[in-house]
Amino acid sequence: MNNCCSGLQSLTREQVMNLALAVGKLLLKNGAETSRVEDSMTRLCYHFGIYDLNVFVTPTVIIFGDETSEGKSLVCRIRTRSVNLTVLSKINNFTYNLCSWSQGYEATMDYLNTMLEEKPPYNKWLLCFASAVSSACFAQVLGGNDHDFVAAFITGGVAMVVLKLLGGYRPSAFWENVLAGAAIGATALGCCAMSRQCTMEAITVGALMPFLPGLAFTNGLRDYMAGDLISGNCRVSEAVMFALSITIGLAGVLVMWWHWGWQLWR
């Protein structure tokens, strides 16, 4: 047992496992790659002198325990995931500074559980506004004019509003992205129909940028490099599926517009 920790001393094996599992849940639910989750949980156990526990993490499951039939094992299913770098930073500081942690076991568990139950720091309407602004800026970077800036702002905002409103009905992520892609296509085409100075390419690509799963793809590659082949395959496949679902929604609207006989590209 490592006694350099002023607050967390003389913890039982079960208490250490509970702490490690809470840390793993927080990391995985807030966007950490699986190799980081396994490393943080293992490092916490090593700090308290426990070396015989194994951790297996996928993007949706944490399995934590030892190899003996008498030992305690814990399994946690992660059903919702997001990205919250503030939480990741707090947990990273916690696991790397255990020696200076002043709170006891109960207070620490309350601290971790409070973070687990916290709502996202930004409400859905602020996220919609941020998506609109970023879409407009991407359209400008891609060479769009002032009309494209305004049209991309509207398109990106409408698409994110559709995505957030659908969240209350709990559809699968695939169908959420299909409908978001359809909203991008329909709104962009509507803007181009109202103004001949709008550029379809700049508006569409600008509005698509906030929806691209770049972080999931990057985490998948990092899991590959860390040797976590299952997690790497899962994350890369998830990123490809998200990108494909947005493409299906966008392409479906463009095909319908084309078959109705209206001019598609200006």
For 175-185, what is each residue's pLDDT tens digit? Answer: 888 888 899 98
Looking at the DSSP assignment, which residues form a beta bridge with residue 196?
none
Q: Please compute the mean of the pLDDT values over residues 211-234 and round it to a whole number.
A: 81
Q: What DSSP line would sit under 92-141, residue for residue?
A: HHHHH-GGG----HHHHHHHHHHHHHPPPSS-HHHHHHHHHHHHHHHHHH
Which pLDDT tens digit goes with each residue over 204-219? Answer: 988 888 888 877 788 8
Residue 266 reports pLDDT greater than 70 = no
Contacts of 251 (CB under 8 A, 6+ apart): 181, 185
Q: Please compute the mean of the pLDDT values over residues 156-172 and round it to a whole number.
A: 80
Confidence of residue 265 (pLDDT cuts 50, 70, 90): very low
For residue 52, the model assigns a pLDDT of: 87
Confidence of residue 2 (pLDDT cuts 50, 70, 90): low
